[in-house]
Amino acid sequence: MILPLRIEELTFVAGGRTLIDRVSLELEAGPSTIILGANGAGKSVLMRLMHGLLAPTSGRVLWNAEGARRCQAMVFQRPVMLRRSALANVAYGLKVSGSPQAERMAMDALEEVGLTHVARHPARVLSGGEQQRLALARAWALHPEVLFLDEPTANLDPGATREIETVIKAFDAAGTKIIMSTHSLGQARRLGDEVIFLHQGRVAERAPVERFFPQPASPEAAAFVKGELPWA
Amino acid sequence: MLDGILSDPRLWHIVGLSLAVSLSAVAIATVLGMPLGAAIAVGRFPGRQAVIVILNALMGLPPVVVGLFIYLLLSRAGPLGSLGLLFTPPAMVIAQTVLVLPIIAALARQSVEDAWREYEEQLRSLGVHGWRGALTVLWDIRFSLVTAVLAGLGRASAEVGAVMIVGGNIDGVTRVMTTTIALETSKGDLPLALGLGLVLIAIVLALNAAADLVKQAAQRRYG
């Protein structure tokens, strides 16, 4: 078990701007965590720091066990697909991690997200929604303990968004810890158990979903919820 | 008169040798230069920026200087003289490889570096590092790299100085299209020189057209 994840006094400065400002958190296995906040609040940067794609300026990211790198996966806002078949894209991740029977496991993952019918199609000619589901399959095939999702539906239409959310719910139900950023309140409600609300690189509030939306405690979160609700 | 020239078997020997030398040089330079360029693109090491500047500068190596350098290496008194390669087609392949390698490596370096910006986070997230990342990106952008190979081929097929020096322009042995054109022009046989020039241009055009067709078809297929 690589969870719980503890981050201590995490700070990230780029180009003279403090994007993450002394954030301390502990994330346990179980509840799916939604990182909420306006554009530029630091959601993506915080997830990249946790996932190890960025090195913090100061502070620490502490996983509970060694080899945490292999037990996590990340799905990005814009999926990056290799110029090969959908199946080969999923198998690539498995081969890198040294799995035998990569092809068969990749096929299982495609089935999980409902893409077996395009397994042999070149990944880059799939639709945006299909590519994002493929990205989920690629992450899922690795059976991560923790799955980071960086605004996975930001570029998708409502239909594709629904499909992605269904897949995320299935991963959550299977016991994968979901850590997802979004600026959509509706999505946060549908998928989240708890909300971490970021404002200008700091955690303004952390609360269970059922309390966060009706009664946000911090003024920043209250303003965000009030301002966003009509479109949620 | 052009008909008479085109039916001359010696001409086709010259054309064949030109193609064999230049295509061999481009093939070797591709196999060596692509991974080299990709490694520089993806790697982070001290002096990297200096290496890039030098590699880019080497694209402009004067063929006669490369020819002279290889000549000194291969000449009887030179360090590789015992191989007996001077004034043979392999010597010409070596010289052209040296000319073409920086072009292919430098253009591949730029292409891979541009693509790496798009791929880096995803690949690092999957746990891909070092050589594996470089080769993954190289393979993924293989169709855009056709342009780098064509630039190398253009250099090799047009070049006269290096093959003249290390090949010696020996009739029937190391005489290629460009050295023949230079020779015939200086002898005053302008129709032969001109005819060969047209053949050379037609071959280069045909190779480029073929490469473009492959590239277009592949890009439609893979997106």
pLDDT tens-place string over residues A179-207 = 999 988 889 999 999 999 999 899 989 98
Query: What string of DSSP letters covers B27-40?
Result: HHHHHHHHHHHHHH
Q: Strand, coil or helix: what is A204?
A: strand
A8-17, A55-64, A67-76, A101-110: least confident range? A67-76
- Please state, in angstroms and rounded to a whole number, the distance separating the CA atoms of residues A29 and A175: 9
Contact partners, residue A212, CB within 8 Å, separation at least 6:
A194, A195, A197, A205, A221, A225
> Does the pLDDT of residue A175 top 50, yes or no?
yes
Res B2 pLDDT > 80: no
Average pLDDT, stretch B83-91? 93
pLDDT of B130: 84
What residues in B contact A138, CB-CB < 8 Å?
A: 126
Taking the CB of residue B70, how many other CB atoms lie within 10 A of it?
25
Q: Give the separation between CA A154 and CA A156, rounded to whole angstroms.
A: 6
Distances (CA, A) of B68 to A183, A230, B90, B101, B105: 65, 76, 15, 17, 22
DSSP for A163-174, written as a single string: HHHHHHHHHHHT
Mean pLDDT over the full length of chain A:
89
Run of H or E including A107: helix A102-112
Backbone angles phi, psi at B177, to 5 degrees: -60, -50
- Given a contact cutoff of 8 angstroms between Cβ atoms, the answer to whether B86 and B76 are in contact is yes
Name the band, by pLDDT with cuts 50, 70 and 90, for residue A228.
Answer: low
Question: Which residue, among A48, A82, A148, would best test binding to B if mutated, counting the most B CBs under 10 Å from its CB?
Answer: A82
Q: Do the beta carbons of residue B42 and residue B114 sit within 8 Å?
A: no
Asked if residues B2 and B195 have their Cβ atoms less than 8 Å apart, the reply is yes
Q: Which residue has the tokens 């690629």?
A: A138
Which residue in B has a C-alpha nearest to residue A125's C-alpha?
Answer: B223
The pLDDT confidence band at residue B10, using thresholds 50, 70 and 90, is confident
Q: What is the ipTM of this complex?
A: 0.89
Per-residue pLDDT at B1: 56
Put simply, whether A143 touches B (Cβ < 8 Å) is: no
- How far is CA B116 from its chain centroid? 25
Chain A hits for B131, CB-CB cut-off 8 Å, are: none
The per-residue pLDDT for range A27-58, each reduced to its tens digit, is 988 899 999 988 888 999 999 999 999 999 99
Buried b (16+ CB within 10 A) or exposed e, A216-225: bebebbeebb
B141 to chain A: which residues are within 8 Å by CB?
83
For tokens 């799916």, name the residue.
A32
Do B125 and A51 make contact, defined as CB atoms within 8 angstroms? yes
Provide the 8-state DSSP code for A3. P
Q: Is the pLDDT of residue A227 over 80?
A: no
What element of type H or E holds B143? none
The single residue listed with the structure tokens 């549908």 is A190
What pLDDT sits at residue A232? 42
Contact B33, B105 (CB under 8 A): yes
Q: How far is B113 from chain A (nearest CA, A)?
A: 16
Tell me the backbone φ, ψ of residue A23, rounded to 5 degrees.
-90, 130
**A124 with B223: Cβ contact below 8 A:** yes
Specify the pLDDT at position A155. 84
Answer yes or no: are the C-beta atoms of B128 and A96 closer than 8 Å: yes
